[in-house]
Amino acid sequence: MADLTQRYFEDVSVGDEFEETQQPTHDHVVAFIAAAGLPDGGGRFTDPVRAKAAGLPAPIVPGPMSASMLTRLVTDWMGPLGRVLSLDVSFRRPVHHEDLLRCVALVTDVNGEGDFEGTGAGAVHLDVTLENDRGEKPVQGTAVVELPRRV
Amino acid sequence: MPDATYLDLHVHSSDGSDDAGGTVEGYLKWIAARRKLGFKIDGFVVTEHRRFDLDRDYSELAARYDAVVLRGVEVETTIGHVLVFGVTPEFLAKFDLSSVSLPYEEVFKAAWETGGVAVGAHAGRPRIGCVEHVDERGVTLEGVRVIEALNGGSNDYENGRAFDLADARGLRVIGSSDSHFVSALGRCLTRFDRTIKTMDDLVATLRDPSASFAPMYLDDTKDGVEPRPRPSGAAVFLPGTSGQGSLGGDDLEYDRSVVGREVPVGKFEVTRELIAEYCEALDQTNPLYTDEAFAAAGPHKGIIAPPGIVQSVRMDGPPDPKVTFGDTTMMAGQRHEYYLPVRPGDTIEGFAQVKEVYEKTGRSGRMVFVVRRTRYANQHGEDVAAVESTSAHRQVKPTGEGE
């Protein structure tokens, strides 16, 4: 469930960190592929045999699903009136089913350059990362969001 | 007691590295924030992948943050990636930096002879670090004096075996973060026991066999912190690499005529029902998308669609660049940009193009990247969103004989 608590620009500073834990299962992956209308990637997301043929030790979590976990981390944090301006992620290593993932976001910049529907709200820059429990960061990227100001 | 200087010698920025999200100013702001917490970091060297722009200069920007920002380059060679400091027009004239398999002996020799210095990057990394090339192919490391043994993007095992190689061969070692994103800056860096303000200072120090410098973790730069021991190369943890893939060398073949050609790829109408179904499937509960009354009182004066909806309707792809390399493709990255709200009643049309095709080498060997961009416009001709996907072509099965 989305949290209806609104976050405001004035309450955010560089260095703020927030995170969620995710553990995508085979069933989650199947459901995501169906809901998002994704191509099945030649079976590499769900089928061990076809994953091996693609050079992978086991089926992997689709990139867009990893991106969605990070999007969700950010949208839950910012509240309903926040707005995602951009999300840019690179998939550096495979994410496997059942991986215990820390989805981490770190505020790297806050500035008044945003323009929240003409109300002059600010842009918040975030580094976003998926970390597995093997010490790897398979997905890394940035997001820019706009938060309203407290009036 | 001479002044110590703490520099991160290997950093990528969005100014020149396709896979980096950090801006130079973002890194500088991060340094300011880290310093407030007691960490020591004086500056960094921007080392973009496979390109060096002679005209770029960050010194004014750096001065505003009381930091040093210098520039080098990270090139790709037959023993993996190599950092070059003190890049001159003379050095640049000798090589095509976009190549992914430059002859390493010539790169190290040319850097030295043109007054600079080359350093083996992330030496312990599979394929793109020099350790494996020494272990498996008996490479002699001719002209190699310094390697990056502590790399912020490598794991402890990879860094440990880089230190082991340095011990065995009497090589000097540096540390750096290999940051692609702001918050990774300085995670590993190098402490120099002298003042370094310019590229000339840095190059002279790295070339001087009697100069004192050592890699370290950012955490250990705080006063009173006991330094962490250097990582071990004992194979307690083996990274999951395929051990397949070649470092390439063949010319990149694809249909260049399709690059930049934008074509319409599909159209759909946004309805309240479509928005409701999408929210249901992806468990989107923001009332801006689902609650008429809440949305009417909000900034958009009515229900809007979740931004991701533009991607939920299948459209065609851009013209095929017909890349001949590799036997599999993977998604390597995605960039989403959202400009304007999408509302019920809008008609959204997609326009797609192949933006770029290029190659590079990574842990899994040679990769050819294709960047596809789709922009989505509404019935008023306004762009509402754009999505860029990068796919990587790789060769995972051994090819041909003699490999």
B333 and A CB contact within 8 Å: yes
Residue B114 confidence class, pLDDT cut points 50, 70, 90: very high
Residue B167: what are its φ and ψ, rounded to 5°?
-60, -45
DSSP states along B108-136: HHHHHHTT-EEEETTTTSTTTSHHHHHHH
Examine the domain organization and report whether B195 and B314 are in the same domain: no
**Global ipTM:** 0.89
Examine the domain organization and report whether B41 and B88 are in the same domain: yes
Residue B285 confidence class, pLDDT cut points 50, 70, 90: confident
Contact between chains at A2 and B285 (C-beta distance less than 8 A):
yes
pLDDT score of B1 more than 50: no
Residues 39-98 of B with CB under 8 A from A: none
Average pLDDT, integer, range A86-115: 89
Examine the domain organization and report whether B20 and B119 are in the same domain: yes
B399 and A CB contact within 8 Å: no
Contact between chains at B282 and A68 (C-beta distance less than 8 A):
yes
The answer to whether position B287 is within a domain reads yes
Rounded to whole angstroms, the Cα distance separating B81 from B123 reads 8
Chain B closest CA to A101's CA: distance in Å?
A: 17
Write down the pLDDT at residue A42: 77
B37 contacts on A by Cβ (under 8 Å) = 15
- The overall average pLDDT reported for chain A is 87
pLDDT score of A120 more than 70: no
B333 contacts on A by Cβ (under 8 Å) = 63, 88-91, 141
For residues A19 and A110, the answer to whether their CB atoms sit within 8 Å is: no
Chain B closest CA to A97's CA: distance in Å?
A: 15
- Return the closest-CA partner of residue B290 out of B298, B299, B279: B279
B287 contacts on A by Cβ (under 8 Å) = 4, 80
Q: Which region holds residue A120: left if phi is over 0, alpha if psi is between -120 and 50, else beta?
A: left
pLDDT score of A116 more than 60: no
Q: Which of A69, A108, A110, A137 to mutate to test the interface with B (most CBs of B within 10 A)?
A: A108
Contact between chains at A141 and B281 (C-beta distance less than 8 A):
no
The answer to whether position B399 is within a domain reads no
Rounded to whole angstroms, the Cα distance separating B372 from B370 reads 6
Residues 44-83 of A with CB under 8 A from B: 54-55, 57, 62-64, 67-68, 71, 75, 80-81, 83
Rounded to whole angstroms, the Cα distance separating B12 from B235 reads 29
pLDDT score of B247 more than 80: no
Examine the domain organization and report whether B299 and B208 are in the same domain: no
B260 DSSP 8-state letter = T
pLDDT score of A36 more than 90: no
B19 and A CB contact within 8 Å: yes
Residue where a domain terminates, one of B168, B195, B221:
B221
Examine the domain organization and report whether B173 and B288 are in the same domain: no
A76 contacts on B by Cβ (under 8 Å) = none
Average pLDDT, integer, range B121-139: 92
B181 contacts on A by Cβ (under 8 Å) = 108, 127, 129, 140-142
The answer to whether position A41 is within a domain reads no
Chain A closest CA to B277's CA: distance in Å?
A: 10
Residue where a domain terminates, one of B221, B240, B265:
B221
B308 and A CB contact within 8 Å: yes
Write down the pLDDT at residue A2: 45
End-to-end CA distance of chain A: 27
pLDDT score of B246 more than 70: no
By three-state DSSP, how is residue A58 classified? coil
Examine the domain organization and report whether B216 and B266 are in the same domain: no
Rounded to whole angstroms, the Cα distance separating B347 from B123 reads 52
Examine the domain organization and report whether B102 and B44 are in the same domain: yes
Contact between chains at B332 and A1 (C-beta distance less than 8 A):
no
By three-state DSSP, how is residue B217 classified? strand
The answer to whether position A7 is within a domain reads no
Residues 175-204 of B with CB under 8 A from A: 180-184
The tally of domains found in chain B comes to 2
A71 contacts on B by Cβ (under 8 Å) = 308
Write down the pLDDT at residue B353: 96
For residues B204 and B39, the answer to whether their CB atoms sit within 8 Å is: no
Quick one: tokens of B40? 């020591």
Domain range for B36 = 5-221
Examine the domain organization and report whether B71 and B209 are in the same domain: yes
- The overall average pLDDT reported for chain B is 90
A30 and B CB contact within 8 Å: no
Contact between chains at A85 and B155 (C-beta distance less than 8 A):
no
- Residue type at position A45: F
B347 and A CB contact within 8 Å: no
The answer to whether position A70 is within a domain reads yes
- Residue type at position B396: V
Residue B130 confidence class, pLDDT cut points 50, 70, 90: very high
Q: For A108, which of B26, B242, B244 is closest by C-beta distance?
A: B26
Contact between chains at A84 and B338 (C-beta distance less than 8 A):
yes
CATH of the domain at A84: 3.10.129.10
Q: Higher pLDDT residue, B201 or A120?
A: B201
Rounded to whole angstroms, the Cα distance separating A8 from A31 reads 34
CATH of the domain at B26: 3.20.20.140
CATH of the domain at B323: 3.10.129.10
Q: Which residue of B has its CA nearest to A139?
A: B333
The answer to whether position A89 is within a domain reads yes
Examine the domain organization and report whether B126 and B210 are in the same domain: yes
B33 contacts on A by Cβ (under 8 Å) = 14-15
Per-residue pLDDT reduced to its tens digit, B162-195:
999 999 999 999 999 999 999 999 999 999 999 9
The answer to whether position A39 is within a domain reads no
Rounded to whole angstroms, the Cα distance separating B8 from B30 reads 13
Examine the domain organization and report whether B128 and B272 are in the same domain: no
The answer to whether position B238 is within a domain reads no
The answer to whether position B51 is within a domain reads yes
Examine the domain organization and report whether B64 and B150 are in the same domain: yes
A151 and B CB contact within 8 Å: no
Domain range for A66 = 13-24+60-147
Model-level pTM?
0.82
